Structure 1
Amino acid sequence: MARTPQFYHHGRSPAAWVGSITASIGFIVASIGAVMGPMWLLVIIGGSIILLAGLATMVLKAMGMGQPG
């Protein structure tokens, strides 16, 4: 039996929420690191969190939790 994907209106999907919230946390961490010195370790950690957000969004979308193309 084929599973029909759930339709999410205007990007209100679990994949979009996870990506947006995680990227926001990454931007906050990187911004704090940039303002405080700059503390390059925090800037790099923030950038890594942002990359993780993109990866998590792609994985969740591939699992069917995102809005179809």
Structure 2
Amino acid sequence: MSKATVSASTSAASKGVYDDVDHSEAPGHGNSPAAWTCVIVMLIGALIASIAFVIANTPVFIAGAVVMVIGLLAGWVMRKAGYGVGGSKLKNSGH
């Protein structure tokens, strides 16, 4: 074994994926009507698909997967309509 010390130079180290992330703003938690609708509909779809998987019913399983996709689309549409985080429908109008 060698007793030489090993040191890594900071300039020679490769830059990581998350090194340029700005942590000055809070990331938020997506607490909006669009996010809640998306999650609730997708949870219902997952419940349907899970029950269908246990009872081995393929058409109902596919229906549950379709409900999950519908939940994802509903959240996206609501976000575009202004019900997402920082959306125009959620701004305080001073009333």
1:62 paired residue among 66, 80, 95: 80
**Gaps spanning 5+ residues in structure 1: where?**
1-8
Cα separation, 1, equivalents of 2:29 and 2:76: 17
**Aligned residues between the structures:** 59
The higher relative CO (CA closer than 8 Å, separation ≥ 6) is in 1
TM-score by length of structure 1 reads 0.81
Q: Which residue of 2 aligns with 1:18?
A: 37
Matched, 1:41 2:95: no
RMSD between aligned alpha carbons?
1.0
Percent pairwise identity: 36
Structure 2, unmatched stretches of 5+, are 1-27, 87-95
1:10 shift after superposition: 1.9
Kindly indicate which of the two structures has a greater share of residues assigned to helix. Answer: 1
Partner SS, residue 11 of structure 1:
coil
Equivalents in 2 of 1:54, 1:10: separation in Å?
17
